[in-house]
Amino acid sequence: MADFVRVEINDGIATIRLDRPPMNALNTQVQEELRAAAAAASADPEVRAVIVYGGEKVFAAGADIKEMADMSYADMAARATDLSAALGAFARIPKPVVAAITGYALGGGCELALACDWRVVAEDAKLGQPEIKLGVIPGAGGTQRLARLVGPARAKDIVLSGRMVDADEALRIGLADRVVPAAEVYETAVALVKPYTKGPAQALRAAKLAIDGGLEMDLASGLAWESQLFAALFATDDKREGMAAFVEKRKPRFVGR
C-alpha cells in the first residue's frame, strides 16, 4: 500500500492522486510511488484513461528540497536517472493522460504535468520551473518537454528566469489546454478523457506512439514509423469492428483489442 499516491478506478478512468500534505512535495518515496502507479495504470486493461490530480488545493509544488539540500554530485548522479524515469513513466502510459492542476505545479510538479498529454489548469493556478533560483536546472524533463511544447525561446524564458506562469499565459503559450475555475478542474479533466474510455484502445495507443515517437525522428523516419503502426492495427478486433460499423452505418462497439 502506497503512503502518498493512490490509484482510484471509476468507469474506466484511473485517478492517480497525490496526497502528501501540505504541498505534495515529490521526495524519493513519492517519485517511486508515482512510477508504480503509472506502471499499474499502464498494465490494467480496465483502465482506459488516466487523470493525475493533487487535490483541491495544490497539484505539486516541486521536489523535496530538504531531502536534496545535502546531496552531493555523486548522490544525485546515482539518483537523477531514476527521478527522470519516475516522472517520465507518465509520458509512457499507452492511454490518454490528463493532469488536473490546482494551486501550484512547480519544479517536479510542472515536470509531472508536462509528461501528461493534456493539462487542465485552475484559473488561479501557477506553473513554473524555479530550479534556477536554487542554483540548479530542471532535472526530470523540464528543459526538454517544455521546449518541445512551447518552443525553445519561451522555455528559456521560463527556465532561466524561474518565474511563475499564470493560467492565462499558460493557455496562450500552450502550456495549458483548458483553464477553468478551481472547483471545476477535476470534473473538466474527467469530461476530457471520458470519451476515450469507449474508444479503440490499441489505436489510441498507436496514435500516442506515432506522435511522441515521431517527434524524436526526422520526417522520413517518422513517416515509416507511422506506416508500421498503421498497418499493425489491421490485426485488431477494433479495426474490424470500426470498419464494419462504418459500412453498416451504425456506431462502433469497440472492445479494446
131 flagged as catalytic: yes
How far the first Cα of the chain sits from its last, in Å, is 30
Cell 515509416 belongs to which residue? 224
Pick the catalytic residue from 54, 103, 108, 242: 108
Pick the catalytic residue from 131, 170, 203, 242: 131
User: 184, 125 in Cβ contact below 8 A?
Assistant: no
Pick the catalytic residue from 63, 99, 100, 206: 63
CA distance 121 to 59: 10
36 flagged as catalytic: no
Pick the catalytic residue from 109, 111, 113, 226: 111
111 flagged as catalytic: yes
Hey, what amino acid is at 41?
Answer: A
Alpha helices in the chain (DSSP H): 28-43, 65-68, 73-88, 108-114, 145-150, 152-161, 167-173, 185-193, 201-214, 219-232, 237-247
184 flagged as catalytic: no
Reading phi first (left if > 0) and then psi (alpha if -120 to 50, else beta), residue 62 is in left
Active-site positions read 63, 108, 111, 131
